[in-house]
Amino acid sequence: QQQVKQSPQSLIVQKGGIPIINCAYENTAFDYFPWYQQFPGKGPALLIAIRPDVSEKKEGRFTISFNKSAKQFSLHIMDSQPGDSATYFCAASKTGSARQLTFGSGTQLTVLP
Amino acid sequence: EAGVAQSPRYKIIEKRQSVAFWCNPISGHATLYWYQQILGQGPKLLIQFQNNGVVDDSQLPKDRFSAERLKGVDSTLKIQPAKLEDSAVYLCASSMYRGQGRSSYNEQFFGPGTRLTVL
């Protein structure tokens, strides 16, 4: 019940395309859903996050869509650029003293020039 | 602000040898985490510290892994003896809570990791 399932495993788009990465969760106690971006040789870095009281959050070219009833959330990258090529991880955590993150398995995104 | 520092960046050892990793978190971050990231997978939490106390070590293989955080700042993670399946990137992260109550969240900042290869 702690799992976060992420798809697809890899994704290739042309520059300017809109890649979409999907995640699904089981634990309804989760109340914070961040996305992390990881470049080769680097640690993950927080990209954008959402709480279940809103259905969408946008920061620059990155948008999270959240469907509470379906227990799913997704990341959309508008006008994707070759510099967006990286591995993206969704994660989830729940209120509590630990607030630990449970990560998805990751999506390797390649944006072709 | 300086990020999370880790060393070494790379380590190659033979199975059954021991190895230690070091982490220096962001100044003022009370919470520190060690994750194991196997190639092609998301980070898996090994242990979480709050100051110098352990919050959760339920996923730490305690027969071979140990970790400590002296004085609530730097931390070391040790593997002894190493197995082939320990080959992974070991990530350290630190965090501070933002917001209050139910609106609080935990932004974790990750170091670059140590890539361990066990031969």
- Secondary structure string (H, E, C) spanning A26-60: CCCCEEEEEEEEECCCCCCEEEEEECCCCCEEEEC
Q: What is the pLDDT of residue B96?
A: 79
**CB-defined contacts A:B, below 8 A:** 62
Other CB atoms within 10 A of residue B92 CB: 28
* pLDDT tens digit sequence for B3-40: 999 999 999 999 999 999 999 999 989 899 999 999 98
Among A46, A100, A106, select the one facing B45 at the smallest CB separation: A100
Q: How far is CA A44 from the centre of its chain?
A: 12
Distance CA B9, CA B14 (A): 17
What Rg value do the Cα atoms of chain A yield, rounded? 14
- Look at A43 and B4 and tell me if their CB atoms are within 8 Å: yes
For residue B5, what are the CA distances in angstroms to A80, B24, B53, B73, B119? 30, 5, 20, 12, 26
Nearest chain A Cα distance for residue B103, angstroms = 9
Q: What is the secondary structure of A52-108 as a DSSP string? A: TT-SEEEETTEEEEEETTTTEEEEEETT--GGG-EEEEEEEEESSSS---EE---EE
For A88, the closest chain B residue by CA position comes to B42
Decide if A89 contacts B110 (C-beta within 8 A). no
For B97, the closest chain A residue by CA position comes to A99
Nearest chain B Cα distance for residue A9, angstroms = 9
Other CB atoms within 10 A of residue A97 CB: 10
Residues in B touching A49 (Cβ below 8 Å): 105
Q: How far apart are the first and last CA of chain B?
A: 37
Distance CA B78, CA B22 (A): 9
Nearest chain B Cα distance for residue A17, angstroms = 24
Among A31, A43, A98, select the one facing B111 at the smallest CB separation: A43
A95 falls in which pLDDT band (50, 70, 90)? confident
* pLDDT tens digit sequence for B62-113: 999 999 998 889 999 999 999 999 999 999 999 977 666 666 667 889 999 9
Q: What is the pLDDT of residue A99?
A: 75
